[in-house]
Amino acid sequence: MGTDVPLLSDWNGDATRAFGIELELFGMTAVSARASFLIEGGETIREAWMHGSELPDVDDVIETAQQLSS
């Protein structure tokens, strides 16, 4: 199962702060909470998941992305 969508890597923490998912962890700031977002057209959040300490269910994210794109 695959999909053709761009993925974001947030090395400088800009998206972490913009999405409001910044944590302090072991004395480090600007640590991202585990989260996944499906963004349409570069500006509309269509779905969001906060994963807590669990690993994200990537299959669920991909399935939802495919449903939204059809």
Query: Does the pLDDT at position 3 exceed 80?
Result: no
Q: Which residue has the higher pLDDT, 27 or 3?
A: 27
Query: Is 12 in a helix, a strand, or coil?
Result: coil
pTM of the model: 0.69
DSSP string, 15-37: HHHHTT-EEEETTEEEEEPSEEE
Q: Region 54-70: what's the mean pLDDT?
A: 84
Query: Does the pLDDT at position 5 exceed 80?
Result: no
Q: Are 21 and 35 in contact (CB under 8 A)?
A: yes
22-35 pLDDT tens trace: 988 888 877 888 88
Query: Does the pLDDT at position 20 exceed 70?
Result: yes
Structural domain boundaries in the chain? 14-69
**Amino acid at position 36, single letter:** S
